[in-house]
């Protein structure tokens, strides 16, 4: 039986950059999954996502846990989580039906990778209220550099 | 290299339907992943429920962590649940909203241990009222999981365009 998951593209940063882009994403899969390990030059910072070079028509909800403080929620467009002041943050981003003619929801699980004071947890849902197929994904660290050795893996998942 | 992540079954609804059932699930995998995008045919918000092996009795217990809007998140534990329930993570008919879901069924085919399920669900509604949910479920059965039935908890059909895909993960 054919595998249902295929690596579309892997990126390992050879030098710092403020924006990582996956472009020309084929529409041949059902869902997309993006796995990220990243550290920012700014230390603690938020991270954001864009589709098709657009930052418009996004909305989102996050759930943030930073023990011993009680978990809190909030709304923030394009937000996919945070990066800590040390260590590499991890993200799992799932985008179902990315090539459909419907609005595009996405789901994110994130830890900021803080190993000094304890890692924090972010769970996020987002929506891009646009019916265009997603053909590019942009990741940024709120204008800060993402450092060398950060990795970004984009997978296609097929139910065909 | 052998494939470790395979599609088992997929269902895309071309008309509204009371439920989607995956039957005769092979025991050939190590874990199962069920991915869904669903909308209720009803106009009121609803939840999804999964019956394992057709059971609607109180064999499901859970710990949940959820957030909707701003402020404190909610968490808790509940036992004797009648389904694996998503808690109001669902789009409603007449909107562009679809809830998104991922369930992980661990070691589902063994016949000696009770089954655990990890769940992540989201509903990001265009008009607001977003939900983020994470849960762990314990299913009080030792039999292998061979069927999963997904339906709304309050009765309306699953709407046209709803999709569920069941994947199998192999450790060998």
ipTM of the predicted structure? Answer: 0.92
Residue A65 lies in a domain: no
Residue A7 lies in a domain: no
Q: What is the mean pLDDT of residues A100-112?
A: 94
Residue A128 lies in a domain: yes
Q: Tell me how far apart the alpha carbons of residues A142 and A81 are, in angstroms, rounded to a whole number.
A: 11
The number of folded domains in chain A is 1
Asked if A60 and B73 come within 8 Å (Cβ–Cβ), the reply is no
Residue A136 lies in a domain: yes
Residues of chain B with Cβ-Cβ distance to A75 below 8 Å are 69-70, 130
Residues of chain A with Cβ-Cβ distance to B99 below 8 Å are 105
Shortest CA gap A17–chain B (Å): 30
Residue A126 lies in a domain: yes
The CA dihedral of A104, A109, A113, A117, to the nearest 10 degrees, is 120
pLDDT at position B1: 67
- Block residue for tokens 């983020």: B132
Q: Which residue of B has its CA nearest to A122?
A: B132
- Block residue for tokens 């699980």: A109
Nearest to A124 among B98, B123, B132 (CB): B132
Shortest CA gap B47–chain A (Å): 17
Residue A78 lies in a domain: yes
Q: Which residue of B has its CA nearest to A63?
A: B67
Residue A152 lies in a domain: yes
Q: Tell me how far apart the alpha carbons of residues B29 and B107 are, in angstroms, rounded to a whole number.
A: 8
Residue A82 lies in a domain: yes
Which residues in A40-59 are b (16+ Cβ under 10 Å) and which e?
beeeebbbbbbbbeeeeebb
Domain of A86 in residue numbering reads as 70-160
Q: What is the mean pLDDT of residues A11-30?
A: 97
Q: Taking all residues of chain A, what is their mean pLDDT, rounded to a whole number?
A: 94
B interface test, pick of A105, A122, A130 with most B CB neighbours within 10 Å: A105
Q: Tell me how far apart the alpha carbons of residues A152 and A50 are, in angstroms, rounded to a whole number.
A: 15
- Block residue for tokens 């701003």: B70
Nearest to A3 among B5, B96, B161 (CB): B5
Asked if A59 and B126 come within 8 Å (Cβ–Cβ), the reply is yes
The string of DSSP letters for B112-123 reads SS-EEEEEEEEE
Peptide linkage before A68 cis (omega within 30 of 0): yes
Q: Tell me how far apart the alpha carbons of residues A52 and A98 are, in angstroms, rounded to a whole number.
A: 11
Q: Say whether pLDDT at A116 is over 80.
A: no
Q: What is the mean pLDDT of each run of 10 residues along chain B (172 residues)?
A: 89 97 96 96 94 96 93 93 92 90 96 96 85 95 98 96 96 79
Nearest to B132 among A1, A2, A125 (CB): A125
pTM: 0.94
Question: What is the architecture of the domain spanning B5-169?
Answer: Sandwich (2.60)
């Amino acid at each position: 039986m054919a595998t249902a998951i295929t690596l579309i593209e892997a990126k390992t940063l050879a030098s710092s950059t403020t924006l990582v882009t996956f472009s020309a994403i084929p529409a041949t899969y059902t869902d997309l999954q993006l796995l990220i390990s990243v550290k920012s030059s700014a230390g603690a910072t938020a991270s954001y996502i864009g589709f098709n070079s657009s930052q418009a028509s996004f909305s989102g909800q996050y759930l943030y846990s930073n023990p011993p403080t009680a978990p809190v929620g909030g709304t923030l467009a394009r937000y996919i989580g945070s990066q800590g002041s040390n260590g590499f943050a991890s993200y799992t981003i799932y985008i179902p039906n990315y090539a459909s003619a419907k609005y595009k929801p996405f789901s994110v699980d994130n830890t900021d990778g803080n190993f000094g004071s304890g890692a924090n947890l972010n769970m996020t849902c987002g929506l891009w209220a646009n019916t265009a197929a997603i053909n590019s994904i942009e990741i940024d660290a709120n204008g800060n550099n993402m450092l060398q050795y950060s990795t970004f893996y984009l997978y296609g998942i097929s139910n065909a | 290299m052998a494939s470790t992540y395979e599609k088992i079954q997929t269902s895309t609804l071309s008309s509204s339907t009371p439920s989607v059932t995956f039957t005769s699930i092979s025991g050939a995998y190590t874990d199962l992943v069920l991915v869904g995008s669903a909308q209720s045919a009803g106009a009121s918000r609803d939840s999804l429920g999964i019956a394992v092996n057709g059971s609607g009795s109180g064999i499901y217990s859970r710990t949940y962590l959820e957030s909707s809007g701003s402020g404190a998140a909610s968490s808790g534990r509940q036992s004797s649940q009648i389904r694996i329930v998503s808690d109001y993570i669902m789009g409603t008919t007449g909107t562009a909203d679809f809830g998104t879901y991922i369930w992980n069924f661990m070691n589902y085919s063994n016949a000696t241990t009770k089954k655990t399920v990890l769940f992540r669900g989201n509903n990001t509604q265009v008009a607001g009222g977003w939900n983020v949910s994470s849960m762990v479920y314990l299913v009080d059965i030792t039999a292998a999981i061979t069927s999963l039935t997904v339906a709304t908890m309050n009765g309306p059909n699953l709407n046209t365009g709803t999709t569920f895909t069941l994947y199998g993960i192999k450790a060998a």
